[in-house]
Amino acid sequence: MYVKSLSLKGFKSFASATHLSLEPGITCIVGPNGSGKSNVVDALAWVMGEQGAKSLRGGKMEDVIFAGTAGRAPLGRAEVTMTIDNTDGALPIDYTEVTISRTMFRNGGSEYAINGTSCRLLDVQELLSDSGIGREMHVVVGQGQLDTVLRATPEERRGLIEEAAGVLKHRKRKEKALRK
């Protein structure tokens, strides 16, 4: 399984539709300061369901929508689509190629789709959670985050290990069931 491509439109500095094709293995993004490298990483986290504005380096969620520049008006929506190569069947879905999309409008919440069919955030999270891409998004390690891991309490560290082992999903389900 690997991320095959990422398409952005109206996401942060990517006002125009931008398509990035990726290969298996390691991808490096290079460019001058402020050119949008970290925005690409934010887009990855966002399309996988990231809910924290701070994790996306913004003050509020709508900060991910292109805010306009001197020569270009702000946009009303942000859209990101990630295409995953699933020929190895790592994702529990019967498709060799899986697209996950997220759209957000200025006046409202987010819409999600898997392979073009509307779905809930929970569906995206459940699809990804068995693949090592968990809902807590430790798969996207930002600058300074290593420090947080090193300083974590034993309980917090246990959470990280549980997520990596894929048991977090079951613990969350158990907690939810017990609350009822």
- Binding residues for ATP, as ranges, are 32-39
Amino acid letter at 39? N
Compose the 99-138 pattern: x for residues touching ligand ATP by CB under 6 A, - for all others.
----------------------------------------
115: helix, strand or coil: coil
Report the distance separating Cα 156 and Cα 57, nearest Å.
Answer: 22
Tell me the two tokens of residue 24.
């298996």
Q: Min. distance of Cβ 138 from ligand ATP in angstroms? A: 20
Q: Which stretch binds Mg ion (CB under 5 A): 29-37, 59-67, 87-95, 101-109?
A: 29-37
The H or E element containing residue 79 is: strand 77-85
Q: Which stretch binds ligand ATP (CB under 6 A): 61-69, 111-119, 130-138, 168-176?
A: 61-69
Q: Min. distance of Cβ 38 from Mg ion in angstroms? A: 3
**Cβ contacts of residue 169 below 8 Å, gap of 6+?**
126, 129, 130, 134, 135
Tell me the two tokens of residue 139.
């798969």
Which residue ranges make up the site for ligand ATP (CB under 6 A)?
Answer: 12-13, 31, 33-39, 63, 65-67
